Every structure is written in C-alpha cells, then in structure tokens.
Structure 1
C-alpha cells in the first residue's frame, strides 16, 4: 500500500521534478494578477509590469540575464511611472533567484547592491511632501530591509541545496563502498572455497591413487589373489570419494549462501572439527598405506574457535598428503598436536626423501606450503617447513589462541596429557 503524503509535500516534490514548468506557471499567474492590476495605472505601467514579470519564466535557467532585464525594467519604471506597481514583487523574486541559484559571490553581491540602490532611488521617486526627507528615509529603509531579507533567504536556500547535494554525493560514495565491500567479500569467499576444494580433492585423490596403484600391482603380481584385501582397498577408495564429495558439496553450499559469513566456509559449518575428525583423517591416511605415529592431547581443541580448528585440521591433512605423495615408499610420518601457552602447535615430520620433496613442493606455487602459510597468516599463525637433517621433511605450525583452558601450562609443550591417536 502506497503511503499517502500531505498536499504540500506533493507540491514540493512536483516543483523539484519540474522546475521549468513551475517557473513558467509562476510567471503566467503573476502576469494575470499583478500585471493586469498594474494596468490600472496606465499603458506605460502595464508595459513595464509585463517586461518585469515575463522574464521570470526563465529565471532559473538564466538568472544573471533576468537580473539585468529586471534592473532595466525598474529603471524605466522610475522614469515613466511615478508610483510603485504591484508588479514590483517581480524584482524581489529576481533577487531571491540570484541569491539561491547563482554560485558566483560577486554576482550575488551585485544583485544585493542593485536592490539596495533601487530601494534608495525608489525612496526619492515615491516619497511625497510635506515631510519629504523623512519619507525618503523611511521608504528607502523599509525597501532596503526587505531586499536584504529576501537576499539572505535565497542564500540560506542555496546553502541547503548545497548541503543536500553533498549528502547525496556522500550517500552515493557510501553505496559504492558497500558494493565494493560486498564484491570483496564474494571474491574472498570464492578464494577460500577454492582453497578448501583444493585441500579436499588433493587429499582424497592422493588416497584414491595410492590405493588404486597398490590394488593394480597386487592384481598383476600377487599370488594368490586375496579378495579380502581387495575389498579393503575398494572400501577405502569409496570412503575417500564419498567424504570428498560430501565436503565439496558443503563448500559449494556455503559459497551459494549469500548470507554466509565473510570468514569463509570454515566458520559456517558449526562448532568445527575435534579430535574425532582428526582421528578419522589419520585413519584414512593409514588406510592409504602411510605409517603414521600420531599424538594429540584429548583437550587440544577445548575453547578453540572453529576457524582455528579447521586451520589445524587443514595443515595436518595437507602435510600428511604431502608425505604420502613425496616422501617415498616405506616412509613413516610422525604427527604431534599440542597446546602451548600461546596456542596450538602442530608438527608433522617424516623419514622419507626430504630434499626431493622440498623441491617438488617448491614447484607448486600457490598451493601446498604457500597455501598453509596463507591460511595461518590470516589467523596470526606461522608455518616453517624444510628438510630434516639426515633425511626426511618437517612442517612446524603455530596458531595463537586467545582463550586457553585453565589447565594450560607454562610456555612450551606440556609434558603430560598426551594421547596416541588410534589407540
């Protein structure tokens, strides 16, 4: 239902939308009223009134020209007509128009000066004896005060219009800033989703490839063929594929949600992962054929924001996936997840082919180590990685946590409370 407005508000809106038509209407009505009334003073008065009123039809389009025309008409009136006319109200409208719609201060001051000069001349022309000097002073003062008031009102209106224009411009800039922020958030959401999908697919496909290669080799060389082992291989492949599909669908669902938080897909999936999800990740890597020795505190994720939980899980998954892909056969991975006084520390090391693996990771800019560093940097964390002395590779990550449980110990790793994952 459309809201009804007052008649004055509708008239004001119409006048703002049709300024030229308003000026034309105003000039016509004034001529019909004040112009015809001025005709009672004779034909010269009627012609002067017509010359003063009709230019008002273009007063906002050509205010300076209308000012000159009005001053000329008033000068002619002083010479040929000895009395004031009803049409003299047109001069006041012209002064208001120049003050309200002309940006140039000299022109506005010129209009005020012309109005004051006309007031003085009118005082001399229209005053009568016997108290001629007093009448001149009184008439000139009254007309001058009226001209100053009209000029001041016009300047106030011009200032209001300037303020309204500045407010509209500021609102347009704010709207543009809001649109830019929305575009930035959407772009950030897409980048985070792409990173999530990369992590999910890379890990799952690595598991699938390792299992498929092992099954292919066993099918060609193993004697006899063990149906139980084959079933386990296909079950692992199926679980990895289904898990990847579910996670990718979750990321896409978050990406499609326009109201999703700008922090990305991680924080919009509830409370975040815990030790159970970490155990499932380790089990999936072990099922792919990598020996993993994992230790974590049972309360390592207590009082930890979901974004940090997801970041820890992603770092572990990416690191173990890299071990699976690059460490070589018969490698063993060692995983440690612990709380420190500052936050959570993650260490993933292996005894595989560390030097070659470092070169392989360095050849994949934007993913792997760089992706993990970028993820941790947004949370205030750091990541260091490199070959180990004597062979192998190590990844160390530290993420600060603002809220720690009361049992948090001094700086460094707590000595007790560790639990081997999978036991």
Structure 2
C-alpha cells in the first residue's frame, strides 16, 4: 500500500497539470453556488443576482489555477480583469479571489524575489481597484483579511522557494563532494599501485640478481666442488622462499575476496645487516658500518632506507664486476638519517646519466627519498666505482 501511494505521488509530481486541473475544477464547482450568497467583500445589498455571463466569468477565473505553473502572471492578470469586470457590473466575484491567492503563491515559490514582489503588488493593486470600481473600499476588515492571506501565502511561497534552493545546493554540494571523493580514491589507488610496483621491483630485482649469481657459481663448481654447489643451491632455495614471502606480503593488499591478508612486518634499517650478509653470500664483498644511536624511525622512512640499500647493492652485484667491493654506511644523526653505498667496480653500463642507467630501480629510489623530503645523489665515485648517497630528515616521533 505504501509503495502504491509513493508511486502515485511520484506520478502526480511528474504530471503537475492533473492535480492543478482537479483543484481548479473543484474550486469552480464550489464558486457557482457561492456566487448566490452574500459576498464577504463589499456591500451585500448592492450585489445583483448573477447572470450567465457573470457565472461564465467566475468559472473561467476559478479554472485559471489549472495553468498556474505554465503562465502564472498571465493567469493572475486574467483573474484581476475578471474580478474588476464583475465589480464594475455589481456582480459577486464569488471565490475568484482564491484563484488570485493561488497565483501569488505559485509566483513566489517559483520566481525570483523581484518578480514575486511584482506579483504581490499587482494582486494588492487589482483588489484595491476592484473595490474602488465597485463603489468604495467598504468594510476595511474584509480587505485586511485579504491582505493578510495574500501576504501569508506570499511568505509561504518564498519559504518553499528558499527551501528548494537550499536543498538543491545541498545536492549539488553532495555531488561535488562525491566527485572529489572519487578523484581522491582514484589518486590513492594509482599511488598504491605505484608503491606496489616499486616494492615488487625492489624485491624481484634483488632476489633474482642474487639467485642468478648463486646459480652461476653453482654451475661453475658443480663438477669440482659438489659441496660448494650444494651450498649455493641451498642459498638459492632460501632466497627464493624469502622472495616469495615478501611478494606475498606486498601483493596481499590487493586481495578482494574479503579475507584479511596476512602481512608480516616490512623490512627496515634493522634488517640491513642481514641484507649485507646475503650479498656476501652472493659473492659481493660488502662491509657495513652503523654509526650513531639508532632513533625511532617512521615506518615509511625505515622501509625507504632499507630499499635504498637493497637496490644499490643489487646494482653493484649486477654491474660492478666479480672482484668489486662495496661499503655501506648508515649514520644516525640528530634529526637526520644518512645512508651511503659505494663500490669500486665498473659501474652501470654507459648510455644514461646521473646513475639512472640501471633501469627503474634507482628512479624508484629517487621517488622514495623525495617522498619523505630527503636528498639523494647518485653518480660515479671519485677514484672509480659508483656511489649512492641519501639523507632523510627525521621528525620528532
């Protein structure tokens, strides 16, 4: 039943001419018998019995609200003309004045302030002129009643218009906020995809490079040193498991099946010694110095520092040569974390600039450092080799 009533209201809202026509018809039907009663306005004694023409005018005036939404000013003017005509012939205007009130309300609720004030003034002027034409203003109380009703309906119409404008503004604001939220969501998703791509690149590049070096070493010593080959293969297996675990943690944020992803803690500065040991096992002679007292790092800076060392050592392993050495220095300074990675090898292949020859890895590192307001220098090392130097500003945690 409620759905049926709601559907009917929606249908009537989409077809406003129908309820307006019904209301106007009811008003006209009531106006005909009321025209034989003493008028509320003017001198009842002076009124004449309505004739056919006056009845027709009364019906036309009362039917005018049917078109109040389409031509409200024209209908208001028509009602005033009919009221004045009836007054000039000494006929009762019956309920035509109610039609004028309907026009005033319609204009006030659907037009601007200037036009609605014009309609209000036209209504007052028309009623006053009709009273004068009828032979005088007569009883002031009746005219005061009309003025109060007209002002009340005008104020009601203005309130409805302001309420509609306010609701429209709220809906528009909600749409704008919805579009802004969608844009923010798309930007956040794009940023998350970029972050995941950097994480995957760092993990895959590092572990695959180490596994490749270990596999090459196992192949060379397979016939002459089976135990050494076995150790290299064990290292490859362990490295592969570690890589799979890290990638599972990273890609876990993309799961959409509703099951929370099991994510382990992300690596940080504390894991750099383990990373250096892995590089030594892979054949890159690496030394590590950690200076200063380690303070509390934000998770983002902690991860960015680890990935910086990982990417730099991976590039040294791939490009520095078999006899190269690498040095990693981590300095915890007041308000700053400084990281330096150097090697004395051949360096990346030629064809790029500023150390970005090695692909997307160091470009991603540059983005990481810039994200946390740090400074990064990548380039050839004085005396040969290659170096990566970064400084992260630290905020009070």
Shift of 1:77: 2.8
Are 1:117 and 2:125 matched, yes or no?
yes
Q: Which residue of 1 aligns with 2:356?
A: 362
Q: Is the 8 A contact 1:36 1:46 kept in 2?
A: no
TM-score (norm 1): 0.79
In 1: Cα distance, 2:75 partner to 2:385 partner: 90
Contact 1:383 1:398 in 2 (8 A): yes
Structure 1 residue 349, shift from structure 2 partner: 0.6
Aligned to 1:33: 30
Contact between 1:332 and 1:351, CA under 8 Å: does it hold in 2? Answer: yes
1:66 maps onto 2:75 in alignment:
yes
1:408 aligns with: none
| Shift of residue 37, structure 1, vs aligned partner | 3.1
Which one is further off, 82-91 or 198-207? Answer: 82-91
Q: CA deviation at 1:355?
A: 7.0
Q: How far apart, in 1, do the equivalents of 2:200 and 2:31 lie?
A: 80
Contact kept? 2:200, 2:250, Cα under 8 Å = yes
- Pick closer, same or farther for the CA change 1:184–1:121 going to 2, 3 Å: same
CA contact (8 A) 2:292 2:333 kept: no
- Residues 164-198 of structure 1 deviation map (CA, whole Å, 9 limit, x = unaligned): 21121111111111111111111111111111111
Aligned to 1:23: 20
Residue 252 of structure 1 is matched in structure 2 by 251
Whether contact under 8 Å (2:62, 2:95) holds in the other structure is: no
Residue matched to 2:169: 166
Q: Does 1:177 align with 2:180?
A: yes
SS at match of 1:337: strand
Deviations 1:13-60 (A, max 9, x none): 887566444323432333343455336663444322321222322322
Whole-Å Cα distance in 2 between the matches of residues 362 and 274 of structure 1?
24
* 1:380-422 CA-partner distances (Å, limit 9, x unpaired): 1111121111101111111122237xxxxxxxxxxxxxxxxxx
- Comparing 210-219 with 230-239, which one deviates more in the overlay? 210-219
1:323 and 2:312 correspond:
no
- The two structures, once aligned, show a CA RMSD in angstroms of 3.3
Match of 2:238 in 1: 239
Distance across 2 between alignment mates of 1:214 and 1:65? 98
1:338–1:344 Cα contact (<8 Å) kept: yes
Q: Any conservation in 2 of the 1:323–1:333 contact (CA below 8 Å)?
A: yes
Matched residue count: 380
Instruction: Using the TM superposition, give the Cα deviation of residue 67 of structure 1 relative to its aligned residue in structure 2, in angstroms.
Output: 2.7
Shift in CA distance, 26/244, structure 1 to aligned 2, threshold 3 Å:
farther
Q: Deviations over 1:276-303 (max 9, x none)?
A: 5223222222221111101225953x42
Cα deviation per residue 1:96-128 (whole Å; 9 max; x = unaligned)? 10111124x55434322321211212322456x
Residue 146 of structure 2 is matched in structure 1 by: 143
Name the CA shift for 1:287/1:355 in 2 (closer, same or farther; >3 Å). closer
Change (3 A) 1:112 1:255: same
Once the two structures are superposed, the pairs formed by residues 257-276 of structure 1 within 5 Å of their partners are 272-274=266-268, 276=270
| C-alpha contact 1:297 1:338 (8 A) present in aligned 2 | yes
What are the Cα deviations for residues 210-254 of structure 1, in whole angstroms up to 9, with x where unaligned? 1222223334xxxx5222111111112112222222211211111
Q: How far apart, CA to CA, are the structure 2 residues paired with 1:34 and 1:279?
A: 99
Aligned partners of 1:318, 1:358: CA distance in 2, in Å?
19
- Name the structure 2 match of 1:228: 227
**TM-score normalised by L of structure 2:** 0.84
**2:91 is the alignment partner of 1:98:** no
After TM superposition, the structure 1 stretch with the greater mean CA deviation from structure 2, 106-115 or 368-377, is 106-115
**Partner of 2:35: helix, strand, or coil?**
helix
Contact 2:84 2:133 in 1 (8 A): no
Paired with 2:32 and 2:375, the residues of 1 have a C-alpha distance of 85
Work out whether residues 208 and 240 of structure 1, in 8 Å CA contact, stay in contact via their aligned partners in 2.
yes
Contact 1:63 1:102 in 2 (8 A): no
Partners of 2:312 and 2:65 in 1: CA distance: 81
In the TM superposition, residue 255 of structure 1 has moved relative to its aligned partner by: 2.8
1:246, 1:271 → 2: CA distance? 11
The C-alpha deviation readout for 1:117-166, integer Å capped at 9, x for no partner, is: 11212322456xxxx56x26665555344434432332232222112211
Q: Which moved more, 1:323-332 or 1:290-299?
A: 290-299
Does structure 2 retain, via aligned residues, the 8 Å contact 1:304–1:401?
A: yes
Residue in structure 1 matching 2:286, options 287, 292, 295: 292
For 2:393, the equivalent position in structure 1 comes to 400
Counterparts of 1:82-93 in structure 2, within 5 Å, are 82-93=91-102
1:85 alignment partner, SS class: coil
